[in-house]
Amino acid sequence: MSTVAVVGATGVVGRELLDVLAERAFPVDQVRLLASKRSAGQTMEALGELHEIREATPDAFDGVDLALFSAGSDIAKALAPAARKAGALVVDNSSAFRMDPDCPLVVPELNGDLLASHNGIIGNPNCSTILLTMALAPLHRAGGLARVVMSSYQAVSGAGAPAIEELRAQEDAERLGEEPIANVFPTVLAHNVIPWVAGVQPDGFTVEEHKVRNETRRILALPDLPVTATCVRVPVWRAHSEAVHVELQRPVDAAAAAAAYDGFPGIRFWTDRFPTPRDAAHTNEVHVGRLRADPALPNGWALWAVMDQLRKGAALNAIQIAERAMGISVGA
Amino acid sequence: MSTVAVVGATGVVGRELLDVLAERAFPVDQVRLLASKRSAGQTMEALGELHEIREATPDAFDGVDLALFSAGSDIAKALAPAARKAGALVVDNSSAFRMDPDCPLVVPELNGDLLASHNGIIGNPNCSTILLTMALAPLHRAGGLARVVMSSYQAVSGAGAPAIEELRAQEDAERLGEEPIANVFPTVLAHNVIPWVAGVQPDGFTVEEHKVRNETRRILALPDLPVTATCVRVPVWRAHSEAVHVELQRPVDAAAAAAAYDGFPGIRFWTDRFPTPRDAAHTNEVHVGRLRADPALPNGWALWAVMDQLRKGAALNAIQIAERAMGISVGA
């Protein structure tokens, strides 16, 4: 049994981490809820009991075996080393350590073997990247990836609780004939789509699109893979989708492509109809459908992938990492 | 002055055709509203006056100079030849004549010169195709298209009035905690995205994706251009968006790419921020933004394009065709 700290416990992903710990019957002896000073002293339900929230400070990790971070890059950089020093395994959901060569960046179904040796801090990939790498891996094994073009349809919950509230308020305003107001997003998302997720970089791609490229290359161990993306926010509560068109190095026939997806760990492969965000919400799988040979690309294939980004895209993947790194055999 | 018939006058595009005729002060002497038997005898406001709706039959085109069809393929096939025989110029918004070698398929800014000779029936392209070809044309002129990958974000109004009502009813149901019901679309669209627009073909691509490929090739006069798409419905009222990644035949630098878009007829080129469907709704332009060199593709470029699909994607393009074919100089 172990003492588990959740840093950023009051956030959307923090709450999901607690739900997934409970669902998978992760062997938690004691849970420690850490958050900003503002939330400290409040109580919150977790794993069936009320707990007092403590401020996340460097000395808050005493006796902690596992620290699940979901509190942004700055807090991760400030506190993860202290947690590690206190003896905790750190799994961080921010971008702070994702490209750090000393910290593995892991999707357990794909490169979980990296967890055999690590320095105590493990990166949990960006949600769009987890979806993309999971969706690509079977095709990569079948024919070797040569080029990837992806467009995303990303849910609001990826931007946290204030984003969810903002979309709801915008829809209420619209219904009353009032002007919807945008603060969290750069413009109104209600009955709209917004073609930028995180800031734009000098090359015209956004931070999210850079993460997708860089993290995909790292997870698939293909440092030169051409990967391009357009990342778009859509008015969906939960579950990201991606339209993916790829070139492979070798021809792969339809039977081999389908066989690559069928039974792949963590994937539900749809052949009868197509998965949507509503189908994927609150599920643990990456849903892949519309797999089709794409004659417009050399050895081309296209597919549609959907995943609850709070589950496999964040909390579930983090806890799968912890289970594997700690040698815990659990799981729903 | 001319007598103008609108076939499918009661539909979403039919009403938009009447609005655009009025806005552009198209020289209409008499307007004839044609629709199904069900609507015949009802009255409807058009161009500032009430008109009785007549049933669309082969003998309804007597004295008509221009027949704007927006009533589906079957009705176009049944009635367009009769309208032409009666002496009308037919502009058809369905897919009935789009790939017919005897009928030009026209986006006036791109291939309007084809209107110098025609046989009386002119095809108005699919809305996603008008957006894509307009968005691609400047890059094509600058560097020659070699390959196109597109993902769409298509508004509900593209599926007509019942689709708009269905989304509204689904959102109402969701708010009341009731189960939303889907009839027009194959599954619930409220707070969801649906990765199929029109039926799926044996090759795994949808009818919409085939239209995009085939019509784009025809309009750009590039019969072998590799074009692939994933077409997706999103809960947006009005205005389609597309994320586009292309290979060019020749390198094009950033200044030349921007210059190709700047001032291109019918395009509003955004460089300060990015256009969204809310920005494009009720406008006549194709809005292009996020133009960026794409290092993942040979001579690669990426962009984001948005267009009101009832305007430039349907009604406006049809009336621009009529103006040019009839030698009428009007326009807002």
Give the pLDDT confidence score for residue B330 in this predicted structure: 64
CB pair distance less than 8 Å for A204 and B235: no
Q: How many residues does chain A have?
A: 332
The single-letter code of the amino acid at A199 is G
Q: Return the H-helix or E-strand segment holding A50.
A: strand A49-52
Give the active site residue among B127, B140, B231, B287: B127
Q: What are the backbone angles phi and psi of residue A83, rounded to the nearest 5°? A: -65, -45
CB pair distance less than 8 Å for B290 and A230: yes
Interface predicted TM-score of the whole assembly (ipTM), two decimals: 0.96
Instruction: Quote the tokens at residue B42.
Output: 């009802």
Q: Exposed, middle or buried by CB within 10 Å (0-12, 13-18, 19+), for A54?
A: middle
3-state secondary structure of B191: coil
Q: How crowded is the C-beta side of B227, counted as CA atoms within 13 Å?
A: 24
Q: What are the backbone angles phi and psi of residue A189, rounded to the nearest 5°? A: -100, -20
Shortest Cα–Cα distance, B315 to chain A (Å): 22
Give the pLDDT confidence score for residue A330 in this predicted structure: 64
Give the residue carrying structure tokens 């700290």.
Answer: A5
pTM as predicted: 0.97
- DSSP assignment string, A70-125: -S-HHHHHHHHHHHHHTT-EEEE-SSTTTT-TTS-B--HHHHGGGGGS--SEEEPP
d(CA B106, CA B122): 7
Contact assessment for residue B106 and residue B89, using Cβ atoms and an 8 Å cutoff: no
Residue ranges in chain A assigned as alpha helix (H): 12-23, 73-85, 108-111, 127-143, 161-175, 207-219, 254-261, 277-280, 316-325
Question: CB-based contact (8 Å) between A222 and chain B?
Answer: no
Q: How crowded is the C-beta side of B48, counted as CA atoms within 13 Å?
A: 7
Q: Which residues of A touch B277 (CB under 8 A)?
A: 191-193
Question: CB-based contact (8 Å) between A180 and chain B?
Answer: no
Helices vs strands, H then E, count in chain B:
9, 14
Digit-coded pLDDT (tens) for B34-78: 999 999 999 999 999 999 999 999 999 999 999 999 999 999 999
Digit-coded pLDDT (tens) for B90-105: 999 999 999 999 999 9
- Give residue A133's Cα distance to chain centre: 11
Q: Which residue of A has its CA nearest to B187?
A: A276
CB < 8 Å & 24+ apart, contacts of B254-263: B254/B293, B256/B142, B256/B143, B257/B138, B257/B139, B257/B142, B257/B291, B257/B293, B257/B301, B258/B291, B259/B142, B260/B138, B260/B139, B260/B141, B260/B142, B261/B138, B261/B288, B261/B291
Q: Based on the residue annotation, tell me whether B240 is a catalytic residue of this protein.
A: yes
Q: What are the backbone angles phi and psi of residue A16, rounded to the nearest 5°? A: -65, -40
pLDDT in tens, chain B (332 residues): 799 999 999 999 999 999 999 999 999 999 999 999 999 999 999 999 999 999 999 999 999 999 999 999 999 999 999 999 999 999 999 999 999 999 999 999 999 999 999 999 999 999 999 999 999 999 999 999 999 999 999 999 888 889 999 999 999 999 999 999 999 999 999 999 999 998 999 999 999 999 999 999 999 999 999 999 999 999 999 999 999 999 999 999 999 999 999 999 999 999 989 999 999 999 999 999 999 999 999 999 999 999 999 999 999 999 999 999 999 986 44
Q: In a mutagenesis test of the B interface, which of A131, A132, A148, A151 is the best target, namely the one with the most B β-carbons within 10 Å?
A: A151
The single-letter code of the amino acid at B284 is N
Q: Exposed, middle or buried by CB within 10 Å (0-12, 13-18, 19+), for B37?
A: exposed
Q: Which residue of B has its CA nearest to A239?
A: B192
Which of B171, B192, B243 shows the shortest C-beta gap to A230? B243
d(CA B70, CA B117): 23
- DSSP assignment string, B80-116: HHHHHHTT-EEEE-SSTTTT-TTS-B--HHHHGGGGG
CB < 8 Å & 24+ apart, contacts of B36-41: B36/B71, B39/B9, B39/B10
d(CA B21, CA B39): 22
Contact assessment for residue B121 and residue B90, using Cβ atoms and an 8 Å cutoff: yes
The single-letter code of the amino acid at B304 is W
Number of C-beta neighbours around residue A202 at 10 A: 5
Q: What are the backbone angles phi and psi of residue A296, rounded to the nearest 5°? A: -80, -10
